[in-house]
Amino acid sequence: MAWVSASWSALVSGRRAAYTLLLTLAVGVHAMGIHMVGTVLPSVVVDLGGAAFYAWATILYTMTSIMGTVCGRLVQATLDLRRGYLVGVFCLLGGTLGCAMAPHIAVLLIARALQGIGSGLLVALAYSMVSELYPAELQPRVFSAISGIWGVAALLGPTVGGVFATLGWWRGAFWSMTPVFMLLSALAWYALPPVHGQAARGRFPGLRLTLLGAGVLCVALSGHVASLGMRLGLVASACGFIAQTFRLDASTANRLFPSQPLSLTTHVGLASWIFLLFGVTTSYITVFLPLVVQVLYSVSPLWAGYATALLSVSWTIAALGSAGLHDRQVRRAILFGPLLMTCGAIGLGIWVVHGPLTLLGVCVALTGAGIGVCFAHISSRMIAAARPDERSLAASAIPTLQSLGIAFGAATAGLVANTAGLAEGVSSATVASAATWVYGLGVVVPISLTGLALRFVWRRWAYPYVGSSAGAESKR
């Protein structure tokens, strides 16, 4: 019976069918907001002008989505799960309509910021739903389903954006998303229970949110300044702002993050570092590889986008294939994932400049598969290892940590690339030099992940979990 209860069919039986649809679509619309908009932005600036603000459409969305993700648990505690979800949907709907009707680039940027807040809230609440509405034995499959929707969005997003951009009606890409938001709002109202989190205590965390936002903004801006000194200063400032956010958060009642989120001596802390470095690894591929294959291999922008989509597709396939693992198989998967990523990173470092392109694709796929094979299992065990009153908080912290990793990964990749010569101009020579250094140094990240995974598994052997939350508590 335990096997039956943990099967895929359990995710779509009874009321769980609506829950699964709501949480996967919440993550899906966020992923679409990333992949689709990047395709239509060139058409947007041609129509509205403001090419100087081109990067800000992504910067503002990234910054506010992280802020929204961090606030997800607070919103749920203040309202409830149902109303919090609706707030996220309406923010996202308002931002999408603002983008569709924007008469000026400034309006579109404001709308993108509102989109980011809404999508961040929905992602945080989706992860919170996993810990609150699904038993422990189903959680790996739910996280695998979330990974699956990322793979779908990675393929569908550029296609939808490319179709409307080709038709000369970029606004249609935004209009096409509005029926999904209407479906989400109706389904959330009728299906979600008014699950309250722990009651919010203390004052609104304005200072912590300001510090976190300043840190994310510094990271994002570091990719758009030419001076090496300015880049280093912005990245250092970002580290300082975010470190101060964690320090203040540890001493308050209305926490934004679980206890000891970056400790190397707890399961929660180790998992947090792993998710952060997952984000760094993926950003090295999604941010920099499209430029490499376009310049060095004469690949079109559309196909360059699909080349990086291999990361999401292989992630999805591996996640779905490993969802049913248990006991020792799970521990092996947690170790095997970073080893696959290390193989992919080494291959990229060797073949990124001289190819062949097929081997680059294989290396990208290995990296995605490495994340996919262990992501769900690390997620579910991080939740089980958290304090009983912080499990939902730990779940909602997962996408925040990933997003912070992506931001820092993009910043460090840009820093290394410009130092290696890319700042002098985009030519075959400068791109080849930058790629050599970015992917050569990038091997350090998956190697570090392997060490963290070893420690994570070792601690699991020393303090074994069982298949339920109650059992995990009893081992404490």
Q: Give yes or no: residues 34 and 62 share one domain.
A: yes
The answer to the question of residue 138 being in a domain is yes
Between CA 459 and CA 464 the distance in angstroms is: 8
Q: Of the candidates 360, 370, 290, which has an alpha carbon nearest to the alpha carbon of residue 337?
A: 370
List helix spans (H) across 79-104: 81-101
Q: Give yes or no: residues 272 and 220 share one domain.
A: no
The answer to the question of residue 4 being in a domain is no
Read off the pLDDT of residues 12-68 as tens digits, 9 standing for 90 and up: 888 899 999 999 999 988 888 777 887 788 888 889 988 778 778 888 888 899 999
Read off the pLDDT of residues 422-460 as tens digits, 9 standing for 90 and up: 777 778 888 899 899 999 999 999 999 999 999 998 875
The answer to the question of residue 77 being in a domain is yes
The answer to the question of residue 460 being in a domain is yes
Between CA 248 and CA 208 the distance in angstroms is: 7
Q: Which of 148, 170, 195 is the last residue of a domain?
A: 195
The answer to the question of residue 7 being in a domain is no
Residues spanned by the domain of 272: 257-476
pTM of the complete model:
0.85
What is the domain count for the chain?
A: 3
Minimum mean pLDDT among 36-45, 113-122, 174-183: which range? Answer: 36-45
Between CA 83 and CA 87 the distance in angstroms is: 6
Q: Give yes or no: residues 293 and 393 share one domain.
A: yes
The three-point CA angle 278-314-339 to 5° equals 50
Minimum mean pLDDT among 140-149, 191-200, 210-219, 388-397: which range? Answer: 191-200
State the DSSP string of 340-364. Answer: HHHHHHHHHHHHTTT--HHHHHHHH
The answer to the question of residue 325 being in a domain is yes
The answer to the question of residue 11 being in a domain is no
Q: Give yes or no: residues 244 and 276 share one domain.
A: no
CATH number of the domain residue 365 falls in: 1.20.1250.20
Q: Give yes or no: residues 348 and 336 share one domain.
A: yes
Q: Which of 195, 217, 233 is the last residue of a domain?
A: 195
Q: Give yes or no: residues 305 and 407 share one domain.
A: yes
The three-point CA angle 188-189-194 to 5° equals 90
The answer to the question of residue 371 being in a domain is yes
Contact 139, 129 (CB under 8 A): no
